[in-house]
Structure 1
Amino acid sequence: MLSWLEETSNLEELASSMIQNGFFDHEPLIVRTTPDPQKYVVVEGNRRFATIQILLQTDAAVAADLEFDFEVEPTAEQLDLIRVVPCVVVTSDAEVRKFLGYRHIGGIKTWSAEAKARYLETEVEGAAAAGSVNPFKDVGKRVGTNALGVRGPYLALKTLKVARDDLDLGETARTVLRERFGVWNRLLNSAEVRTFIGLGDAMDYAAIQSRLTQLSRPNLKMVLDDLVPQAGTRLALLQDSRDVTTYGRVLANDAAREALIVYRDLDLAAQVADGSTLPQKLRNITKSLDLLVRNIDSFEIGSSEVEAAASLFNMARSLNVLVKDRLDGED
């Protein structure tokens, strides 16, 4: 554990702060009692505790061969300031969960979106097992948020677990959970996205459990795939949570969704879903082309540019023929 914290956290910066300022008494360690009255388990403040161990070269730090490399070694007086630090002692798992939930969900020291969701899932399942009529509301009260603030992360995590464990979407689901969970959580705030993957408008605990067994694997796969880079691409199709509203509108529109599948371009698909008339769409395209013509000297021209322009010209001619044919047919 000590080695892992040293590798994954910036403990050296924390150590420098402790040497200069000592331990901040207003942020005590939270420790849990154990059957041995002389031993405690640190449940909050492990980075700070690990830093202290390395600075003081405790047996655990020496055994792990961990030490900080400072240009100027700390003095004995500086180290004495961190030999005794304030702690708050809790005596039960319930106290631990209550404290961590309030501090990291609704408090000032919030966890990552994934960490919040994992904690909330445990609390919701526990409340439901204990007979809570509305576990989302009850857990929300304990951690300083509302039912929506609990339900959203819970639903996002549970849906990914179903995708991973039951729908054979393990690799993609794990990637989204590990790297894109914040965007995924935001996605499930969209009614269009929830409807598309089969969650619908389920709000209470029992309805959500039922809906989780009725998810559409193909649709869920499509949405998850859009969150991770595909073969031959460097970026995911859905890169930013600010695009969620647009993405939801595209999913809800058959023609726009088909355009998204074919061209893998959210902006293009959004144009299909925006409800503009054909003349409006053509005027927008014309403006874009006019801008290209005006700035043609700013581009380097080669064979690929000539081919692209020829393709555009041919497509414009085809569109012109189709529009005229439609008009003649209506006459």
Structure 2
Amino acid sequence: MAEKFTRADAEAGELLLDTNNPRFGLSRAATQDEALEMLVRGARLKELWDSINSQGWVDFEPLVALSKKVDGKWVVIEGNRRVAALQTLLEPERLPPSLAKRVPQISLLAQQSLKNQNGQKPLTLLLVDNRHDADAFIGFKHVNGPASWGSLAKAKFAQSMFQRLVDDGKDRPSALLAVQEALGDTNSTSIVRMIMAFKVFEQAIANDFISAEQLEDGVMGFSHLYTMMPNPASRVFLGLGEQAISAASITDNPVPPDKLENLNYMIGWLFGNETAGKVIKSQGTDRPKLQKVLAATASRETLIATGDLSQAIAELGLDVDDWRNRLTKLEKQAKDLSTDLFDLQDELAPDIAADAHRRAVAAERACKSIARTLAESNQKDLFGND
């Protein structure tokens, strides 16, 4: 990877923000100043301003930029928050007055680290010819490294890299493997789910089932949609098929036209929209409930009609929380029985002891069946074996 980088120096004013950045909605910015405003509003720059003012600019990690200049400037594809922090400290007047007030006055230490007698001190850049060459570096840093992205930004990066590789002629399995390696992920199935969920999300936005402004991390739990992908009932509900998804499944607009109404409901149940209210309060308990409802026609129709997940679950005649509570009680009772047996063992008549043994064996057999079923279910969730 190292041979694909060359180094260069540049002043902060010679840098452009990347309007294709997968975070903060920069693709909606018409100008660089608008992109700067978006970062000031949504990228938590205060910690960077404070750090630069208290320690000065420390050029410990180079910015990554495309080697081909645009209007005489370099487009930074890794390090946009740092660029925005520097540019606003040096030129707060680029921001509207209401936002400029947020920017602290640049400290003497920061000025000394960023300026000299000839003007601004140069910053170190790593230049790449194209985004492919930076994918591995950016993917590892943000997915596994210290500057971690949220699940939505990871998915957008994975989808973007996958699509670029396919457009360049790579076959889909090879493209998927390259994305997997770039993200440092050992499970190709999780990458497929991530990309498919992002494609579904894009389709929901295109159909106005949810607004584009809600796409950014922190506004909603994108992982809700991502974790629905392994579930066969969820896929059937969206028209994605019962079979496990693969690299071949990844297409634009994966939900067929006759299932768009279902997609509208799904987005509503997961995130809330004008059609349906959000029913996922806790992913650990509510998501499995929703998946069970989707698998049963009567319960599904109840949820569509009422928007009440509890009522839809009642249609099934089972309740996950109630089942878990009963299992918890069983565990406690079993421990108590085991403890009490030590005190009662000598008092048990032979016929009572034999009956107790028979019941204990039957209980053991039932508990082993529960444990085995749960273990198999966990393996399916982990490895994607639907």
- Shared fold (TM-score, shorter chain, > 0.5): yes
Q: 2:201 aligns with which of 160, 168, 184?
A: 160
What does the per-residue CA deviation read over 1:278-320, in whole Å, with 9 as the maximum and x for residues that have no partner?
xx99xx9xxxxxxxxxxxxxxxxxxxxxxxxxxxxxxxxxxxx
1:112 to 118, 142, 150: 150
Q: By how many angstroms is 1:248 displaced? A: 0.2
SS at match of 1:81: helix
Q: TM-score, normalised by structure 2?
A: 0.59
Instruction: For residue 182 of structure 1, report the CA deviation from its aligned partner.
Output: 2.7
Q: CA deviation at 1:151?
A: 0.8
Q: Does 1:40 align with 2:74?
A: yes
Q: Alpha-carbon deviations, 1:239-265, whole Å to 9, x = none?
A: 332221111011112232233233322
Alignment correspondent of 1:151: 192
Tell me which residue corresponds to 2:165: 127
SS of match in other structure, 1:126 = helix
Q: Select 2:45's aligned residue among 11, 18, 34.
A: 11
How far apart are 1:157 and its partner, in Å? 1.6
Q: Distance in 1 between matches of 2:140 and 2:233?
A: 32
- The structure-2 alpha-carbon separation of the partners of 1:141 and 1:74, relative to structure 1 and needing over 3 Å to count, comes to closer
Give secondary structure in 2 for the equivalent of 1:30: strand
Residue in structure 1 matching 2:139, options 101, 113, 126: 101
SS at match of 2:143: helix
Structural mapping, 1:118-267, within 5 Å: 118-129=156-167, 130-134=169-173, 135-145=175-185, 146-165=187-206, 169-172=207-210, 174=212, 177=215, 179-180=219-220, 181-199=222-240, 200-209=242-251, 212=254, 214=256, 216-229=259-272, 236-242=278-284, 243-267=286-310
Q: After the TM superposition, which of the residue ranges 73-82 and 122-131 deviates more from structure 2? A: 73-82
Following the alignment from structure 2 to structure 1, what is the Cα–Cα distance between the partners of residues 52 and 204? 45
Question: Is the contact between residue 176 and residue 227 of structure 1 (CA under 8 Å) also seen in structure 2?
Answer: no
Q: 1:106 to 1:70 in 2, by over 3 A?
A: closer
TM-score by length of 1: 0.68
Structure 1 range deviating more: 224-233 or 41-50: 224-233
Contact 2:66 2:74 in 1 (8 A): yes
On the 8 A contact 1:173/1:224 being kept in 2, the answer is no
| Aligned sequence identity (%) | 23
Residues 293 and 299, structure 2, Cα contact 8 Å, conserved in 1: yes
Partner Cα distance (1:202, 1:116) in 2: 21
What amino acid does structure 2 have at the position aligned with 1:79?
Q
CA distance in 1, matches of 2:270, 2:42: 25
Of 20-29 and 209-218, deviating more is 209-218
After superposition, the Cα gap between the structure-2 partners of 1:97 and 1:198, relative to the gap in structure 1 and judged at 3 Å, is: same
**Structure 2: how far apart are the matches of 1:240 and 1:133?**
35
Contact 2:64 2:126 in 1 (8 A): yes
Q: Which residue of 1 aligns with 2:344?
A: none
8 Å contact from structure 2 (residues 299, 315) kept in 1: yes
1:141 is paired with a residue whose SS is helix
CA shift for structure 1 position 38: 7.5
Deviation (angstroms), 1:92: 1.3
- 8 A Cα contact 1:33 1:39, kept in partner: no
1:197 offset after TM fit, Å? 1.6
Q: Is the 8 A contact 2:255 2:263 kept in 1?
A: no
CA contact (8 A) 2:55 2:109 kept: no
